[in-house]
Structure 1
């Protein structure tokens, strides 16, 4: 399957965006002082574990989408270099 230039860049940007958003979210989750993520004893709550699982899943999906976009961008660049020869 061949991706267009715009689709490749969109997927790459989405992968980078996903990492940015979820890294920020995990940092905020770990620093949470509202009592949602950690109980009074400082132990992680179910809220923490569910949201950490969501973040890890999003990291993996964002990475996969970003890699697909990166491969598309690289293939298009390789194709344009070979076409100009």
Structure 2
């Protein structure tokens, strides 16, 4: 399957964006002082574990989507170096 240039760059950008957003979220979750992520004793709550699992799933999916986009961009770059008649 051949991806267009626009789709390849979109997928790559989506993967990078996913990592940026979820890394920021996990950092904020870890520092949470509102009582949602950690109880009064400092133990993680169900809210913490659920959102940590969501973040891990999003990291994995963002990585997969980004890798697909990167492979598409690299394939298009290789193709343009070879020329259209190769």
Q: TM-score range by the shorter chain?
A: over 0.9
Equivalents in 2 of 1:66, 1:42: separation in Å?
A: 35
Q: What's 1:75 paired with?
A: 75
Equivalents in 2 of 1:30, 1:14: separation in Å?
A: 24
TM-score, length basis structure 1: 0.98
SS in 2 for 1:13: helix
Equivalents in 2 of 1:71, 1:23: separation in Å?
A: 23
Equivalents in 1 of 2:21, 2:10: separation in Å?
A: 16
Q: What's 1:16 paired with?
A: 16
Tell me, yes or no, if structure 1 residue 54 matches structure 2 residue 54.
yes
Q: Which runs of 5+ in 1 are unaligned?
A: none
Equivalents in 2 of 1:83, 1:57: separation in Å?
A: 39
Residues paired across the two proteins, number: 85
TM-score, length basis structure 2: 0.97
Deviating beyond 4 angstroms after TM superposition, the runs of 4 or more aligned structure 1 residues are: none
RMSD: 1.0
Equivalents in 1 of 2:31, 2:18: separation in Å?
A: 20
